[in-house]
Chain A
Amino acid sequence: MKLLKQYLKAVKMYLPREQRKDIINELEENLLAEMEDREEALDRPLTELEQETILRKHGNPMEVAARYGIPHRSVSFGRQLIGPALYPWYILVLWLHFGLAILIHLFLAVFKDLPWSIIGVLFTLFIQFGSVTLVFVILDIYHRYSWQFKCFYVEYLHPVSRGRSAVGLIFWGIYSFWWAAIPSFPSLVLGTSGGLILAPVWNSFYWPFLLLLLAGVVQRTTNLIRPDWNWLPPVMRLLINLAGLCLLFFVLKGGPYVLLTDTASLTQAAQDSASRISEFIFASLLCFGVYWLINSAFSAWHCIRHLRYRLYRRRESINSIEGV
């Protein structure tokens, strides 16, 4: 009942503090009873997507909460611009801005001898009012449309979007071509400025990096054909990032990354330039390393979620076979 918990958590956020627990307990009971009723009619447990349908039908958490006696104050101009859930925050932020603006005007008038003018203060307040209102209108739109994503987006329930796979395929394809073409066209990395060549250290890492890029292409192509293999992206991301990190460890130990051609190495300026480029490449690789490390951690977390879900499904199917 993960989805139900997520949904109730979203409703809870908008409820008055003193009634929160009571309302949520009651709502949980009623929704559970509805789900059980449906299970009884179908004679099997509900799938997550069926649970999702019931909760979607129940409505937007903000609107559900608003029915439970939150004062129905809102900002409207033709249509509701800031709903009751955000209204108290809007008023609070607005007063804070007004207070702060007046204090700043007072401070400038008293301590900096700047002239105090009512028009100036009113203009500042008007600007504050406009900007705070605009921000809250945008927040309200966001809240109204993002609830489904927040409550129900559980990656292991949804197939990988074909659009996402296609875009990924284009990008990873371009990277792979670029990397594959470097031995024949070194200018793809160092440009056409003469005097610099890639150091031999890259030779040992050429094929491993190309394989990693091709693995990315294979994953996106596979998901384009089989979007239902939603476990593939986190698994591949984890493997690619970990392998990338291992390679990077050796690359970082292996500098310099660019060398000078025989004719160019004669000048001190060219040597300084080559050394600066090597340092720049080292720093860039280090940044990549940090990014891959964070990405690996996220991917590992996603893999664990998928694994837990699959184990849960397996347990559920064993239980249903055994009639537990």
Chain B
Amino acid sequence: MSRDLPLEQQITLIELVDRVLSKGVVVTGDITLAVADVDLVYVGLRVLLASVGTIERLQGQAA
């Protein structure tokens, strides 16, 4: 029933974004991601995932 095998690395985009984009050493390069840019990524993902969730719910109802 559970697909959540430990260390199976069920890596979702969110999991990666949470680490790669919002953690890690921050150094000021010639180009550096601003906090606002990262926030925008989250906003976009929420919208995206919310719509995916809706689709799945609708499919669940149809099944």
Q: Are A and B part of the same complex?
A: no
B binding-site residues for A, Cβ under 8 Å? none
